Structure 1
């Protein structure tokens, strides 16, 4: 049976039970105050011969009318219940239709259920929100797939071009050919590793343990210091101990990407990078700020999308593969954190990563991890 039919039978059954109880109460009341038998009285107030069976006559009169009332209640309950059930289930019908459309890959449809905010309205609004998120996610995945295909095709096309040129020109300098192929192959490997890292971070398949973001910042800065010196960029680091919970490998990758991005996308000379860690009541904060070109808020809002760059593509060994900030955003989200990008008025950008903090006295019983700091 359909839900509408079940509700109809439920309404009709409830109405029948209520009517039967009401009639039973009336009958009990009549039996209580009406005698079983009564003497016949003549008009001259003299007793007549014989006794009149009051209850028997009353039952003969009451029973047919009670049955008629119950029959009316049954018909009324079935008809009214069918209409009421249909009215109540109308929102579910709209939600079901929207679900069918979503199953057919039509994610742009929205229910937009009118009326007061009740359980059906909350369900419809939640479903609309889910559809909007799914539509945005699918669109993002489609853009990502298209961009990844383009980025992966580029080194392969370059490799094919170089090899074709070498085949048509046997006297070509093999040293330069090998160097060119090595550079192109290195870029393809870097891109593939970045894509794999992005996929692993999305799966949240990593072990969480206490991590100090300030140590991650120092390690990333030391690693990238030669790159900064070659580009004439100065790096300043400061801040407090910032204990959080997560994957040391992923958080080091996050910090490294931020510092490298700040170094590469900087002024041609005499640029600066500031790396700072701080502690808030419930979170720890890593801030990486750099000088550079003027950026608009509209452009900054797109930098965390895969294969987006704040300036034109840089042809150098450290130009990146366009996944740096996308990886940072994914790692921050998988650690229940947030990533904020703000353009600096004087040029450049300020990037802030905020992650949940753990207490310096955290123990295994409270957090499910070893005591902080690690021994």
Structure 2
């Protein structure tokens, strides 16, 4: 008990509890409240007053989500502080000490009062962190490459293709040094470890290229929360703006980056919007270069999406023209494992 509030660990599989939770969040104009999204949450807390759910907050991995408090109970901020502090302490008992929150700008200061540090903010939302690690620590651990022209690429590489190799080769030929950040999100067909190692092995001969895991600071479309945004386009624009703001504020000065390289996206409207907005936002501070997609000898666009489709259809003989020998060897050696993942996981089509 906190004063006259009862603290409850919410079971969102219970229909009545789920409906109360959904109703409270809906009043706060939060969306994506389906049972599927609720089941993805690791932990949810509820504060009850006279059997009414008046406040809630949840977590998924290291991200705090779905924070809502009835308007009449949020005036002095005490309930907010108690609820978030309770959630932080609970996550600490689970061994999670580094936390993030994506929130509306109006709530950013409330989180700051509890020790969260604002990493980036746009008109639509802010990203904050707290805990035993910081973005400063992360950047300090990256070796500093020398030169006047320093490039950067962010990729999923799910899996690494001849197109990724072409993108990195092109960047390496135009820069003194290139940082390649591999998005860390184990919700792709190929795991973070597999993708990272394939990028490393496929670029080992490029002496001015450093491959790094993106860690927690490359905003992934897979884990990016959109529940406080109205439309999918809003989510894409916000993600672009936040990614650009984070990159510009922290990565550019810390690593001396002068050029951001992007792969052209002829197929995905969402990725095209992302690339277009990234160019607009970053263009006033550093050079943004879009590299056209590489094609096969028979003029097919090389795409990781195509490779995953061929793996699913068991057409490995067609995969060879899209991927490097190193990637092909990995796919052939792990064909059954990859197909098993496709059968057991719904979300395999993330990342080019």
TM range (shorter): under 0.3
**Structure (1/2) with the larger strand percentage:** 2
TM-score w.r.t. the length of structure 2 is 0.19
- Asked which structure has the greater RCO (Cα within 8 Å, sep 6+), the reply is 2
TM-score w.r.t. the length of structure 1 is 0.18
Larger Rg: 1
